[in-house]
Amino acid sequence: MPKTKKTGKVSSAASLNAQVAKLMTTMSAALATAKALGLPVLTAEERVHTNGKLRAGETAAIGSVLATVDANPALFASLADDDDGTVDTASARAALSQAAALGPFVEVIAQLHTVVSDGMMASGAAVKTLSVPAYAIGKVMARTNAKVRTTMAPALTFYGTPARTRVAQATRATNKAKRAAKGAKSPSTGG
């Protein structure tokens, strides 16, 4: 079990599982509360292509732009949605206020993600220092040892499937190329 950097303590599996279960309950409640806010949910593509990612300090810069629009409405009349030529900045200010309010929450969530993700990756790395070489030995031994083959079956299936898929794809590509080459060599019939 990995030691924590700050304390050097090793958590028992039971204690860690209990703490994670408690955290999951808290996070599930926080997720339900966040969903209840009625915030928009973007698609994966919208998330990638949005221009709504605000940099640090950008809310203040946008606020000054909106103040300038309010102070000089005639200069920005081309941006008006209605026929009277006035630009309504109220909805933009509301969206800016919402973004500013959510910013600190997003920062805390990002820090939480980092802590949990790092813990998961460190644990994964710790286990793989033994499991990777053990898998390599077990894979070889499974060819001749039925007991090893049986106990290693889930790992052999899991790790072997991508390799078998790559081999099958390469075989299909080779066969396709051979058929194409064979077709190119055959004499053309024409008139």
Q: How far apart are CA 115 and CA 122, in angstroms?
A: 11
Distance, CA of 144 to CA of 160 (rounded, Å): 17
pTM above 0.75?
A: no
Map out the domains of the chain as residue ranges: 142-179
State the greatest distance between any 2 C-alpha atoms of the chain, in Å, as a whole number.
85
Check pLDDT > 50 for residue 174.
Answer: yes
**What does the pLDDT read at residue 191?**
47
Rounded to whole angstroms, how far apart are CA atoms 8 and 37? 40
Q: Read off the pLDDT of residues 44-58 as tens digits, 9 standing for 90 and up.
A: 999 999 999 999 899
Q: How far apart are CA 70 and CA 83, in angstroms?
A: 17
